[in-house]
Structure 1
Amino acid sequence: MNNLKNKVVIMTVFLILVVLFGCKSNDETTNQDINNGSDTKNVDTSTSSSDDENRSDSGGDLNIALSAQPAHLDTQLTTNQVIREVSRNIYETLVALDEEYHVQPMLAESIDQSDDYEKYTFYLRKGVKFHNGDEMTAEDVVASMNRWKSLYPNAQAMLGDSEFEKVDDYTVEINLSQSYSDFLVSIAGAKQIPVIMPADIAETSGKDILEEYIGTGPFKFLEWKQDQYLQLTKYEEYESVDFESSGMAGKKEALVENVYYHFVTDSSTRLAGIQTGEYHIAEKLSYDDYDMVESDQNLNPLVDHYASATLVFNKKEGIFTDVNMRKAVNAALDIEQILMGAFSNDIFYDMTSSYIYEKQIDWFSEEGKEFYNQTDPKLVQDYLEEADYNGEPIKIVTTRDYEYMYNISVVLQQQLEEAGMTVDLQVFDWASLDAVQEEPEKWDIANINFTPVTSPIDLLYFSTTWRGWNDDEEILDLLDQIAKSSSKEEKKGLWDKTQARSWDYLPIIKLGDFNDFIASSSSVEGLSLFQGLILWNTKVIE
């Protein structure tokens, strides 16, 4: 069983984006090859000129109201969204995803891949400097990437004993133990981001949380006043690539002098702040306030597809190791009531049983939908009897830092109590909640949101080592078959079976997909969204 699980973990990471992106089998990878055969523009990835004539005027401050304070800024260590969103301005990666989820070069100027997709060689851009003034070289990349591997379970599974190695000062290579045509996509789309930092910091920190935040990005870390704000400042020596900005890829230019992330846990305070001009951007606003923001000529409401709302069961220990208890919860839910309670208006959510978004036609599936939104009291009682449930408290962990998460948990508590279950609702700040979910003895159900993936085999809740701890052999075997298959049609058929099995086994309950509600001042120009705010190329016109 353990061998099977290990094998599946390896394979599940080893075929990210198999359907959405195909790889060419050329030895030498051009920019278009890096995009895995997609129709993209040819771009010049060499370092852009730093002459004044190529610089845009910049200045002023950009003030952002965040609903939660990050615990740290070590993106190699966590999948936490707020940490990733702040850190993306400080750090960069070898390759990055554009808004179409195509791979583009970033700190790597070009990449060679062998015909068998086992050897990858990264040719680094020259002249790229860290925020401490030192030039980025192969030593920094090797230390950073190998630290990332040591911290990220998916990377460990993907790479096995393989490690990144220095060829010369501007060349890094890795030799994989088996063929993996989507290796570049795995790096670009990793949820624990393989950011590049100075070698001495990567090596000294090891598996501990970073104490210094030094990257190559357009903004550098300046100050953090706990429970007040975090300040980034423009990096004057930043050297950008010179092709169109898209998603996390392309040209980046700091057009403001400073970025202040203010930690404002109350949504009404965030709203009041952007209305008075204290903040230029306010995240995670109350969905009830949408009409008010829309009618304000000084504000721009931004509704962006964000994530899937999901209930994750702790299957490692406790009451939900019994599948009948998981089925009892699923049968009790009125999902429309839960989503309406969280998001107030159906423009902010979609009720769907599919684990993959509908626009991803190669993977979208409705298998198992008969188990979605059952709302069947008799079925609940049948499952509770099968489980010999005797009123043991169900620990639901949540946070008020994200209002919709708290609201989901409150309605969930009400529905389960009405169905005859005892609920212990425990509320934490965001950083504490993230830590609690790593300790199986402390929770039974967690409301966790999942941002988009481009292949279902990259869904974290199928991992045997990630919180929730999936242990279903049938699901693991099906994922293994998907990873081994080379046929698009066969993969889709296997995924249909996997989702159907998952809705019966219930490692999670998919509630629906939802949008984020952000407001920006009309004085903000150039702001874009890609799994969070993109602050480079953004300016404030006062």
Structure 2
Amino acid sequence: MQHGHKIKSLLAVSLIALALFASAFAAMPASAKKTASKTSATIALEADPSTLDWTTTTDQLSTEIDWHIYEGLFAFDKNFNVRPMLAKSYTYDKGNRTYHINLRQGIKFSNGADLTADDVLASFSRWEKLSNLGKLSAVHIDSVTKAGTYAINIKMKDDFKSLLTNLASVKQPMVVLPKAIVDQAGTNLLTNKQAIGTGPYKFVSWKRGSELKLTKNNNYKSLPKSDNWGGLAGYKHVYVKNLDFKIITDPQSEVNGIVTGTYDYAEKIPADLYKTVKAAKGVKTIKNAVMYPAFTINHESKYFKNNSDLARAINFALKKDDMAKASEGSKAFYSVSNGSLFTPDNKSMYTKAGTSDYFVHDLKKAKALVKKSGYKGGKIILVAPSDKADMKTNAQVAQSQLKKVGINVKVVTYDWATVLTKENDPTAYDMISTAWTERYSPDELSQMSQKTGLSGFYQSTKFADLQKQYDMTSSKTERKKLLGQMNKEMYDSGAFIKLYDKHQLDVYSNKLHGINGFIAIKMWNVTKK
């Protein structure tokens, strides 16, 4: 999400520039050489998060802030097993199709209020209304009721197999808020002051375009150290009390800041700089979240509505390897060998079935589909984020490549936060250059959810039908078959255009210990020497 043509000139001089840092560093004032103390860390982000309301967003920048603040009944461990978090235990009565969930007692929100079943019920209701996963799950839920001060019952309408997975989701999980906050917010986005959770950190302040600050939640009650499950689950201890997230839109400045000690951690470094930062003294690198850059297709657009041919033509016209090289540079961080909705590492979800169209680059076939679509050369508006260079570069490369098959594209740029608002307006674009972080179940595939901004108002009911079949079976064989059909539907319907897979390159100071590679930065259980 970070790098492209215009950065190349900067990268070309970076080897020389960084080589000079050692001598320049000695002359720098002490305040610029280190980031405060062992109890504070400064983290460079490429852009502002879209919101602090985790229930409502799949934006990765928001997610990685929010998981420091909030927790849910369940969470994924490092191996993507569902673990209880605010839930102490649960049972499932097959005869009555009812989950009975006991809550941990003595849990407090960051504002000091006690967590009870009333908070869970209010938060659950909000999740069902605002989260795509919540809406999908709600169809299968008969009732959610209080079973005591610290217990709830969830009665199902049918044999829905994905409820706990959806509650624990990395994307739009059912996080628990104070009932008073839910009552205040209703279905509106949470304000910054309403960002109150049970997580290890709490919100302090946010100056958009500048910095966002969190500090230790002194009311936090962790699971025992013996439950050190990793991922987003289990034991969490705060050693680094203060987190200062700086909004640094220039990748070169991020790298410079890491080398000079201005930042402790920097995200989404251009892969072109991998060898440079790898060789820098006192700097460590880590491969984080897998994501796939893509083009959202606006299915309400006059060019694409009830017409998959033009989207399919675009898929066949794009030379994805050239695009990845231009945007990502180092092959160590991208791949054009996977056309699936899921990554090969996600063994229970991944299948090659239904992906053959991903590998086809055929201009003759593309031109035939352009003609069949009835497209007459009108200007297709491709929106791209100005502060995410890889997405911007992908749009620019596509503009050039699509000319070869007679498709006229105009690239229009906005900052990332504005792009996220544009996607909900079907009159604002024809395509959007974006990137989807890795998903862990079909129910998380919001890029194919029916008639939402996230999916470009994708119209077909076929994916939802396949999704429902998946959720109602526990057969591994049947599920793999359905996953292959989902892949095929992505290409047949022109739901969106998958470009390539990529790893996120993050860098951090060797003073930080305990950093791990689960999706993105997490600062609990991390020490600073």
Question: Deviation at 1:474?
Answer: 4.4
Give the aligned partner of residue 16 of structure 1.
none
1:200 counterpart letter in structure 2: A
**Residue deviations 1:489-534 (CA, integer Å, cap 9, x gap):** 2332233233234322221222221100110011111112322111
Question: Deviation at 1:188?
Answer: 0.4
2:435 counterpart letter in structure 1: N
2:157 counterpart letter in structure 1: S
Give the aligned partner of residue 332 of structure 1.
317
- 66-75 or 440-449, which deviates more: 440-449
Q: Assess if the C-alpha contact under 8 Å between 2:47 and 2:209 holds in 1.
A: no
Find the partner of 2:475 among 467, 470, 487. 487
Give the aligned partner of residue 8 of structure 1.
none
Alignment of 1:116-131 (within 5 A): 116=95, 118-131=97-110
1:213 aligns with 2:199: no
Q: Assess if the C-alpha contact under 8 Å between 1:528 and 1:535 holds in 2.
A: no
Give the aligned partner of residue 88 of structure 1.
67
Question: CA 1:292 to 1:508, structure 2 compared with 1: closer, same or farther past 3 Å?
Answer: same
Alignment of 1:167-186 (within 5 A): 167-186=147-166
Question: Deviation at 1:220?
Answer: 1.0
Question: Deviation at 1:116?
Answer: 4.2
Which whole-Å CA distance do the structure 2 matches of 1:171 and 1:200 have between them?
Answer: 19
Which whole-Å CA distance do the structure 2 matches of 1:521 and 1:337 have between them?
Answer: 33
Find the partner of 2:125 among 139, 143, 146. 146
Alignment of 1:224-373 (within 5 A): 224-242=206-224, 243-321=227-305, 322-351=307-336, 352-373=338-359
> What are the ranges of 5 or more consecutive residues in structure 2 without an aligned counterpart?
1-36
Which whole-Å CA distance do the structure 2 matches of 1:427 and 1:417 have between them?
Answer: 19
Question: Deviation at 1:402?
Answer: 2.2
Question: CA 1:343 to 1:74, structure 2 compared with 1: closer, same or farther past 3 Å?
Answer: same
Give the aligned partner of residue 453 of structure 1.
439
Give the aligned partner of residue 26 of structure 1.
none
Question: Deviation at 1:453?
Answer: 2.6
Find the partner of 2:389 among 403, 406, 418. 403
Q: Assess if the C-alpha contact under 8 Å between 2:205 and 2:214 holds in 1.
A: yes
Find the partner of 2:43 among 64, 86, 101. 64
Question: CA 1:312 to 1:343, structure 2 compared with 1: closer, same or farther past 3 Å?
Answer: same
Q: Please, what TM-score do these two structures have when normalized by structure 1? A: 0.85
Question: CA 1:486 to 1:306, structure 2 compared with 1: closer, same or farther past 3 Å?
Answer: closer
Question: CA 1:199 to 1:494, structure 2 compared with 1: closer, same or farther past 3 Å?
Answer: closer
Aligned positions, number: 484
Question: Deviation at 1:488?
Answer: 2.5
Question: Deviation at 1:486?
Answer: 4.6
1:60 counterpart letter in structure 2: T
Which whole-Å CA distance do the structure 2 matches of 1:482 and 1:239 have between them?
Answer: 36
Secondary structure of the corresponding residue to residue 290 of structure 1: helix
Question: CA 1:210 to 1:407, structure 2 compared with 1: closer, same or farther past 3 Å?
Answer: same
> What are the ranges of 5 or more consecutive residues in structure 1 without an aligned counterpart?
1-57
Give the aligned partner of residue 20 of structure 1.
none
Question: Deviation at 1:67?
Answer: 0.4
Q: Assess if the C-alpha contact under 8 Å between 1:287 and 1:343 holds in 2.
A: yes
Q: Cα RMSD between the aligned structures?
A: 2.0
Give the aligned partner of residue 371 of structure 2.
385
Give the aligned partner of residue 159 of structure 1.
138
Which whole-Å CA distance do the structure 1 matches of 2:119 and 2:411 have between them?
Answer: 45
1:401 counterpart letter in structure 2: D
Find the partner of 2:509 among 518, 521, 528. 521
1:505 counterpart letter in structure 2: S
Which whole-Å CA distance do the structure 1 matches of 2:359 and 2:162 have between them?
Answer: 36
Question: Deviation at 1:287?
Answer: 1.6
Alignment of 1:1-20 (within 5 A): none
Which whole-Å CA distance do the structure 2 matches of 1:176 and 1:96 have between them?
Answer: 21
Secondary structure of the corresponding residue to residue 146 of structure 1: helix
Which whole-Å CA distance do the structure 2 matches of 1:395 and 1:137 have between them?
Answer: 49
**Residue deviations 1:179-210 (CA, integer Å, cap 9, x gap):** 22332111001521221111100111011111
Which whole-Å CA distance do the structure 2 matches of 1:136 and 1:473 have between them?
Answer: 39
Secondary structure of the corresponding residue to residue 533 of structure 1: coil
Question: CA 1:217 to 1:414, structure 2 compared with 1: closer, same or farther past 3 Å?
Answer: same
Give the aligned partner of residue 16 of structure 2.
none
- 236-245 or 482-491, which deviates more: 482-491
Question: CA 1:231 to 1:474, structure 2 compared with 1: closer, same or farther past 3 Å?
Answer: closer
Q: Assess if the C-alpha contact under 8 Å between 2:133 and 2:443 holds in 1.
A: no
Which whole-Å CA distance do the structure 1 matches of 2:368 and 2:56 have between them?
Answer: 42
Q: Assess if the C-alpha contact under 8 Å between 2:76 and 2:232 holds in 1.
A: yes
Question: CA 1:209 to 1:477, structure 2 compared with 1: closer, same or farther past 3 Å?
Answer: closer
Alignment identity in percent?
A: 29
Q: Assess if the C-alpha contact under 8 Å between 2:128 and 2:137 holds in 1.
A: no
- 377-386 or 517-526, which deviates more: 377-386
1:377 counterpart letter in structure 2: L
Give the aligned partner of residue 37 of structure 1.
none
Q: Assess if the C-alpha contact under 8 Å between 1:96 and 1:189 holds in 2.
A: yes
Question: Deviation at 1:117?
Answer: 7.2
Secondary structure of the corresponding residue to residue 376 of structure 2: coil
Find the partner of 2:169 among 163, 169, 189. 189
